[in-house]
Every structure is written in structure tokens, then in C-alpha cells.
Amino acid sequence: MNTNRKITSTWLLWPALFMLVAFFLIPTLDILRASVYDPEFTTKHFVKLFGSNVYLEILWRTIRLSLIVSLICAVIAYPVSYFIVLRPRKQQIFFLFLVFIPLWMSVLIRSYAWMVVLGREGLINAIMIGLGFTDQPVKMLFTTGAVYIAMVQILLPIQIVTCYSAMSEIDFDLMRAARILGAKPWQAIRRVFLPLSLDGTVTGAIIVFMLSMGFFITPALVGGRKDIMMANLIEFQVNQLNWGFAAAISIVLLIATVISVFIIKRLAKTLTRRLVGGGSA
């Protein structure tokens, strides 16, 4: 009976498995192949990539930007999610609805919207000049800061939703239990709520991080010339028909992402253990 059900339910996975193999695994292997066969076996693309400071700097900038964006998202999303989860049920749905609205628009449109807001003749400059804070428009568009602002705004809802759903799983009686056992409100949060919500926060941060690593429309539209990221580099090389080099960059980006995620998870685990920790109260 039980094994029977197991066999039947395995079928449910097949479509997903097929998609994974056909549209992810095979292309990835193909890219891996393209990066080392051009047309004979060669390591020249990787040698070129790792031999150039320019490329390494772009790699490092991509990782750094993604880390900072996911950190900012996590820091903003945490109190917002906490606020929402404390509301009565009906209000929670309303606030989540507000969070979701931007997700209905494509990343491209939202990036363009930021151009309208941040540009020389944009909304913010118009207001600042109108109020007399400045008489020359301030350069905001095509700067690194613009990339941060736009990416945080675009990715924040994902972080909030992930964080919120983790928090809404937490039994609030646990906080009461902590209080009656002798914990002040902040101690109950630090020793009970924070460790229990950290998993969800880290999951959200990892999703945001991985999405950031592959971002290219937003940096291309609102960033400056030096805000080029790995994904922009890949696009550029593809346009130049340097398939082999583009493939090599893709592989490096993939591996860098996997390693970073692994490190983030490790750090989060240590942090949780610290928070729960024995020693001090």
C-alpha cells in the first residue's frame, strides 16, 4: 500500500525532472563544453579571464554588489516582516498586497522608472531645484549608488515575502514562554524569535544574492560605465560572438555563486549558534 503510493507519487516529479534536465542540466553542460572546447580542448578562455585584472575586478565587483544588496534587503525586510506578522490577519494580507504590487511590473520597466526618477531632469532633481536646495541638477543616474537603490527596490519584495513566511510559522506562545521564564522583551526576541526567523531571512538573502549575481538590465540602464557586471560582460561577449569566452565567464559566475552561497550558509549557521548560545544570557 505504502510502496504503491510511493511509486505512484514519483510520477508527479517527472515533468519537473524533465524540465530540469532538458532546460538546465543539458545547456549547462553544453556551456561547460563550449568553455573548454574551441574547437579543440583548450584552457585559453580561463587563462584570459584569470590573467586579466579587469575581468577579476568585474567578478569581485559583482560578488560585492550582490552581497551588499542582499544585506541591505535583509536589514530592511526584517523589521518590515516583523511589523506585518504582528498585525491582525486581515491587515497582514493588506500589507503583503502592498509589498507585492511592484512584482507585477517587469524589471525592465522598473529600471526605466528609476531613470525617470533619478535622471538629470528627473523627479528628484526637479523637486530639489524647485525647493531651492540646489540650482544645478545633482548627478544620480548612471552612478553606482543608482544601481544599489534600483536593485534593492526591485529585490526587496522577494526578501520580505520569504522572511515574512518564515516569521508567520513561529508560534508566538514561544515568546510568552520565554517571558514567563524570565526573559525581558528584547531577550525573548534575541534568544527565541531571532534564531527561529534567521533561517527564513538567510534563505531570502540567498535568493536575492543569486538573483543579483545574474542582474544585467538594471546595471546597464541606471549604472555608469564602470558599473559593468559579470552578466553585462557575458552579454557583451555574446554580441561579439565570442561564444567560448562567454561560456567561460558563465561557468566562473556559476561557480562563484555556488561557493558564495555555501559560505553564506556556513556563516549563518555559526551566527545562529552564537545567538542560541550557552554562555551569556
Report the residue number, 174 or 267, with the smaller CB distance to other proteins.
174
Q: How far is the CB of 188 from other proteins (least distance, A)?
A: 8
DSSP 67-88: HHHHHHHHHHHHHHHHHHHHS-
The answer to whether residue 42 forms part of the interface with other proteins (CB under 8 A) is: no
Q: Is the separation of the CB atoms in 34 and 243 below 8 Å?
A: yes
CB of residue 88 to other proteins, shortest distance in Å: 13
Sole binder of other proteins in the list 181, 255, 258, 267 (CB under 8 A): 181
**Strand, helix or coil for residue 37:** strand
Does residue number 190 form part of the binding site for other proteins (CB under 8 A)? no
- Residue 265 sits in the site that holds other proteins (CB under 8 A): no
b/e string for 201-238 if b means 16 or more Cβ within 10 A? Answer: bbbbbbbbbebbbbbbbbbbbbbeeebbbbbbbbbbbe
Asked if 30 interacts with other proteins (CB under 8 A), we say no
Coarse DSSP helix, strand, coil percentages of the chain, rounded to the nearest 5 percent: 80, 0, 20
* 278 near other proteins (CB under 8 A): yes
204 membership: H or E segment, kind and range = helix 194-213
Q: Does 88 bind other proteins (CB under 8 A)?
A: no
Shortest Cβ distance from residue 193 to other proteins (Å)?
10
- Out of 44, 120, 184, 226, name the contact with other proteins by CB under 8 A: 184
173 interacts with other proteins by CB under 8 A? yes
Say whether residue 183 binds other proteins (CB under 8 A).
yes
CA-closest candidate to residue 76, choices 151, 143, 142, 147: 151
Which residues contact other proteins by CB under 8 A? 171, 173-174, 176-184, 187, 191-192, 195-196, 272, 276, 278, 281
